[in-house]
């Protein structure tokens, strides 16, 4: 009677395992190659014109406009080929309105209250006035918010991000008697250095009573 040896040697198993390792490594690397942040675009894609109820940043106050105010309310990142999964650094700057020269006293400007439904933190925001000797702060503040937000977009997909603005700074009794148009600059920077920008405006008519 012949007895067949069915035992597999340890050397054979080790040799087979070593041969299979490169296959696993190649498969794991494939999803990473699909990620891309270099062929996207950025734009403000929605706005609101209404009698806005605006929060005064870093306070419990809410001020309702008595004339129609227009603010951008959403930006959209539109992706090309290749998925994006990243944490982006987002910066939104609200500039002082051009053509309005306040030589005494300060008025309010606009700052970012929330981005993607997440409230901004006081440490992420700045509000800077022009200053004069003795007089102190004058005019409108220039405000900047910088924070990070997760970005996950499928290949050839899009991500719409809601933004809520609030009022920043203080009003010392100054009356603004002209249409105030505040330039709004948006920047989204990904971890690989790819950066996209978009611009909009906030428009406040005479008599709105919020500045």
pLDDT digits (tens, 9 = 90+) for 53-109: 999 999 999 999 999 999 999 999 999 999 999 999 999 999 999 989 888 899 999
- Specify if 2 maps to a domain: no
- Specify if 23 maps to a domain: no
pLDDT digits (tens, 9 = 90+) for 107-116: 999 999 999 9
| Paired tokens of 140 | 């409108």
- DSSP strand pairing (180-189 vs 84-94): antiparallel
One DSSP character per residue, 123-134 reads GGEEEEEEEETT
- Specify if 159 maps to a domain: yes
One DSSP character per residue, 88-116 reads EEEEEEEPPPTT----SSB--EEEEEEET
pLDDT digits (tens, 9 = 90+) for 113-162: 999 999 999 999 999 999 888 778 899 999 999 999 999 999 999 999 99
Number of folded domains in the chain?
A: 1
- Specify if 115 maps to a domain: yes
- Specify if 17 maps to a domain: no
- Specify if 54 maps to a domain: yes
Torsions phi, psi of 145, nearest 5? -120, 135
180-207 as b/e, with b when 16 or more CB fall inside 10 Å? Answer: bbbebebbbbbeeebebebebbbbbbee
Domain carrying residue 52: 35-204
CA distance 48 to 51: 10
- Specify if 148 maps to a domain: yes
- Specify if 180 maps to a domain: yes
CA distance 44 to 190: 18
Number of H-type helices and E-type strands within the chain: 1, 12
């Amino acid at each position: 009677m012949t007895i067949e040896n069915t035992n597999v040697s340890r050397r054979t198993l080790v040799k087979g395992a070593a041969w299979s390792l490169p296959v696993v490594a190649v498969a794991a690397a494939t999803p990473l190659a699909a990620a891309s942040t270099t062929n996207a675009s950025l734009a403000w894609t929605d706005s609101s014109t209404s009698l806005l109820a605006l929060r005064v940043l870093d306070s419990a106050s809410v001020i309702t406009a008595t004339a129609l105010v227009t603010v951008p309310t959403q930006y959209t990142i539109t992706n090309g080929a290749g998925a994006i999964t990243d944490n982006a650094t987002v910066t939104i700057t609200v500039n002082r309105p051009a053509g309005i020269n306040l030589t005494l006293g300060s008025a309010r400007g606009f700052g970012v209250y929330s981005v993607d439904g997440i409230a901004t933190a006081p440490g992420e925001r700045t509000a800077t006035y022009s200053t004069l000797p003795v007089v102190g702060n004058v005019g409108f503040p220039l405000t900047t918010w910088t924070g990070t937000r997760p970005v996950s977009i499928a290949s050839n997909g899009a991500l719409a991000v809601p933004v809520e603005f609030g009022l920043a700074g203080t009003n010392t009794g100054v009356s603004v008697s002209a249409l105030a148009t505040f330039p709004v600059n948006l920047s989204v920077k990904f971890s690989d250095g790819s950066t996209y920008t978009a611009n909009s405006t906030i428009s406040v008519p005479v008599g709105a009573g919020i500045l």
